[in-house]
Amino acid sequence: MQATLLVELLTEELPPKALSRLGEVFADAVFKSLVERKLVAADARTDRYASPRRLALTVQDVVDRAPDAMADEKLMPVAVALDAEGRPTPALLKKLQAKGIPVEALPQFTRRMDGKSETLFYAMTVPGAALDDVLAGIVLDALKKLPIPKLMRWADCDFQFVRPVHGLVMLHGERIVPGQAFGHASGRSTRGHRFMGEGDVTLASADDYARVLYERGAVMASFDARRALIVQRLDQACRALGEGVRHVDDAALIDEVTALVENPNVYVAQFEPEFLAVPQECLILTMKANQKYFPLLDADGRLLNRFLVVSNMQVEDPHNIVAGNERVVRARLSDARFFFEQDKKTPLAARVPKMESVVYHNRLGSQFDRVMRIQRLATDIAARLDADVMQAARAGMLAKADLMTDMVGEFPELQGQMGRYYAMHDGEAEGVAQAIDQHYRPRFAGDALPQGPVACAVSLADKIDALAGFFGIGQIPTGDKDPFALRRAALGVLRILMETPLPLDVAELIAAARGGFRAGQVGEGDAAGFEMQLLDFMFERLRNLLRDAQHDARAIDAVLAHRPTRVDLVPAKLAAVVAFSSLPEAQSLAAANKRIVNILKKADAVGSQVEAALFAEAAERELHAALLAIRPALDADLAAGRYAGALSALAGLRAPVDHFFDKVMVNADDAAVRANRLALLASLAAAMNAVADISRLELKD
């Protein structure tokens, strides 16, 4: 019999930030197990449900018993199973008895090669799985696979789950599938909305699940449907408030709110305009993080004194709901205003000495030690950029001071942003305030970069100090473990250097960062040589960054083979290599370059310079002349950063290079001639590889 299967686990309120993922994993695991047992087709329709108090799924066209299947039971090699006359041996009889196979079935056994020996097989019928026998086990196995960081016990039960379980529904069509989970036998009764629907909802059929639960229980079981409705009503509320009004766009907040309500509705509330004197970032974060409200912005991005509440109640008169939320938000905003006003009483500069009591890392010193290093390094970088070194030094010293404020202590997400507000209040220069705010950028993939040389200098100093410090004490990221976010710091450095761009050498920056640590503080013991390790780490991140940007893989290999520490030049080199690889001469020159490099690796003596008097063949004179002819233009293009022009000039060398290898024996008997020819090849290789290792462009057969 085919019918729709319903499985629902009824619980107390599940963790909202994890609900969507829990619903997906649960539904996928149950469905996969059903498919493996041949109880449903792999393309059957599945509907997933996840609400604050339930995980559920329905699967269409599930059979009550899987079809029987034929299987070959491997017994043993024929030489062991049968004697010379073809009669079963005691070993075979014992095997058959153990497996319950009758001896009379011996004529039906088949023989075939298994590896190097002829083996005896028994064709047997494997009964299909019965849904009633396996479903409870499937559900329990699926629940064990849920990504739950912490389990709990409840009452006097021996069971453990993320939240107490209150019921289990397993219906196949209209029939209850027997089974138990967490002490609850399966049935057909679930629970509706706590206040708006029927308390207990009896389900007549699995096909009626979503409809009956909504109509009688006032529960919208589908996570996706609730989310879509919330987004629709948030947008409707914004349009009703006027042109240009929009709510803060936060997908994570929408997901979390979706996981908190079973029957959502949106109401408009407000707070007193005087709270807008507090930086809007504080108010927005307070409303979002503490109360799960949606702050409203005008067309210019300024915060309004109104916000949207996603409620779990649909009522004709929402006055009490709105008033209650307004009372709550008033208290929260009052706290934010108090923190802001108190923090302004102490200048940022006066907070810096207090950081001596805050440990940054037990081997890298205090936060005060760290800001002093950042200050010195930011000043160094600003000087290299011809930026305002006084502003860089000031911003470097104050960059972490807002960590000592009450506001950032309450909301760490505001670090940097609050530093800018407090710096402006203290009368600091605009460039200093901006650098304090932006030195954390980029915070995540795709985030904006710091703007201006001073902000870039402080941002680079902050990230490179962290990288040099932790690599210098051997705290290198491994696998998926990166507790100090060093991968993010490395990507930030690379993006700033490459995308701004900035004419800075990353190896020199690492060396400068090392100089900011006390003698023996970094680079001791197992961390000796950490600068090279850190460079390797940076180049690997750069390779990944370029791949993610869809650059040509062979071009990336060619450019990074030279380990270019001027990261700002990499995009231009990549573009030049891609253009060169499209030339008809590219493959021939790439193959020749690879041959030249291999010859030079094996050479025992290479001449220090090319001497024309030692040429014995016209082909080597021709190649030398061609190389001398392109060298001035090549050097000029390289000096000016015209890498495409430099590589295109190499195209003219194809004919003399091919002619050289056709006519000239590099390993001549005369040592002087041989050394001179090797010197010519070394000069040629230097020209060919000035931009990138073009041998990496050779196409593999």
Residue 108 backbone phi and psi in degrees, to 5: -90, -5
Q: Which helix (H) or strand (E) holds 656?
A: helix 654-663
Chunked mean pLDDT (size 10), the chain, 701 residues: 96 95 96 96 96 97 89 85 88 87 81 87 84 95 90 84 94 96 94 92 96 96 97 97 94 96 97 96 94 96 97 93 96 95 97 96 96 98 97 98 96 96 97 98 94 98 98 92 95 97 97 94 89 96 95 94 95 94 89 88 82 91 93 92 91 90 89 91 91 85 52
* Best CA proximity match to 697, nearest among 593, 566, 602: 593
Residue 123: enclosing H or E segment and its boundaries? strand 117-126
Residue 468's nearest CA partner among 392, 560, 374 is 374
Q: Shortest CA distance to 547 belongs to which of 691, 555, 563, 578?
A: 555
> Looking up tokens 């993610």, which residue turns up?
548
Cα–Cα distance for residue pair 38/62, rounded to 1 Å: 9
Amino acid at 374: I
Q: List the beta bridge partners of residue 478.
A: 481
Cα 207 from Cα 668, distance rounded (Å): 87
Distance from C-alpha of 189 to C-alpha of 168, rounded to nearest angstrom: 8
3-state DSSP assignment of residue 435: helix
Rounded distance between C-alpha atoms, residue 156 and residue 519, angstroms? 60
**Residue 550 has what pLDDT?**
93
Q: Does an H or E element contain 661, and which?
A: helix 654-663
Q: CA of 4: how far to CAs of 16, 101, 208, 481, 596, in Å?
A: 28, 38, 10, 43, 70
Residue 601: predicted pLDDT:
85
Strands 246-247 and 294-297: antiparallel
Helix 553-560 and helix 530-548, axial crossing angle in degrees, nearest 10: 160
Dihedral class, residue 15 (left if φ above 0, else alpha if ψ from -120 to 50, else beta): beta
Residues facing 191 on adjacent strands = 200
3-state secondary structure labels for all residues of 284-326: HHHHHHHHCCEEEECCCCCEEEEEEEEECCCCCCCHHHHHHHH
Cα–Cα–Cα angle for 531, 537, 543, rounded to 5 degrees: 135
Phi and psi at 632, nearest 5°, equal -60, -45
Pick the CATH number of 359-550 from 1.10.3210, 1.10.3470, 1.20.120, 2.30.110: 1.10.3210
Q: In this structure, what is the dihedral angle of CA atoms 46, 51, 55, 59, given to the nearest 10 degrees?
A: -20
User: β-pairing, 175-176 with 180-181?
Assistant: unpaired
Q: Could you count the other beta carbons within 10 Å of the beta carbon of residue 645? A: 16
Residue 482 φ/ψ, nearest 5 degrees? -150, 70
Residues 612 and 614: their CA atoms lie apart, in Å, by 5
* Residue 185, strand partner residues: 180
The pair of three-digit structure tokens given for residue 585, joined into one six-digit string: 């001469």
Q: Would you state the pLDDT for residue 302?
A: 96
Q: Looking at residue 353, what is its pLDDT? A: 97
Sign of dihedral through CA atoms 576, 578, 579, 584?
positive
Q: Are 223 and 258 in contact (CB under 8 A)?
A: yes
Annotate 83-102 with three-state secondary structure. Answer: CCCCCECHHHHHHHHHHCCC
Strand, helix or coil at 444? coil
Strands 175-176 and 69-77, by their bridges, are unpaired
Helices vs. strands in the chain: H and E counts, helices first: 27, 18
d(CA 135, CA 129): 10
Q: What is the pLDDT of residue 138?
A: 96
**Are the C-beta atoms of 133 and 127 separated by less than 8 Å?**
no
Q: Which CATH number does 572-697 carry? A: 1.10.730
Residue located via tokens 């030398």: 624
**Backbone CA torsion sign across 686, 688, 692, 693:** negative
Q: How many CA atoms lie within 13 A of 334 on its CB side?
A: 6
478 is written with which tokens? 């491994």
pLDDT, position 701? 52
pLDDT confidence of residue 153: 87
**Cα(244)–Cα(232) distance, rounded to whole angstroms?**
16
Distance in angstroms (rounded) separating the CA atoms of residues 507 and 511: 6
